Amino acid sequence: MMLAIPDLLDSGQLDEVRHIVDAGEWVDGNETSGHQSALAKKNMQLAENSDAARRAGAIVLDALGKSPLFIAAALPLKVFPPLFNRYQGGERFGTHVDNAVRLKRGSDLKVRSDLSATLFLADPDSYEGGELVVEDNLGAHKVKLPAGHMILYPASSLHRVEPVTSGARVASFFWIQSMVRDDGARTLLFDLDRSIQAIAADRGQDDPAIIQLTGVYHNLLRRWADC
């Protein structure tokens, strides 16, 4: 399942994150690459353990925790601390698949990458190119969202970032380990949750059918969750 999370950051949060990361220490993006990714990747990245990355990442994590849409879609168990990258001057990231397990340097944190997330931090009109292209059984999907919006997609997907031919593409990226490992099961739970919410808005939360459907949702989650 691919899902856009609109306005994850409001204008104030977006301005604060950009102020922090723009003034931070930028290094070669391959600092955190695996072997396969290093062959395809050419960009810059905010130093992973820098104060700027921690401060900006904390703002992103706080916003994620307050987003009902993100929580319903991802059913997060662990979130890898957000990283930040910048593409300009023809930089790109060729087709690759993300590592199955992400290790946080200098810590014991391990995150199984069930979902990948890209949070756009630059206005799409401020740069040319830089589309995130995610491939699935239905073909290739190009994504270039407004600043503050985020795309969520299976980490198992082949994906790439097209060359940025002018301006600068700035984004945050990270991975999520879900309580529900299987993407198909997560999609079913998300669709059921959205349907329950839509029916409840029309008939009220105390409607017997809503109570029954909510029970079905939680019993499926109980069956599939690993936490």
CB distance 29 to 173 below 8 Å? no
Residue 218 in marked binding region? no
Residue 226 in marked binding region? no
CB distance 98 to 32 below 8 Å? no
Residue 108 in marked binding region? no
Residue 98 in marked binding region? yes
Which residues have a Cβ under 8 Å from the Cβ of 78 and sit 6 or more positions away?
109, 111, 112, 176, 177
Question: Which residues sit in the known binding site for 2-oxoglutarate?
Answer: 169
Annotated binding site: 96, 98, 159, 169
Residues belonging to the binding site for Fe cation are 96, 98, 159
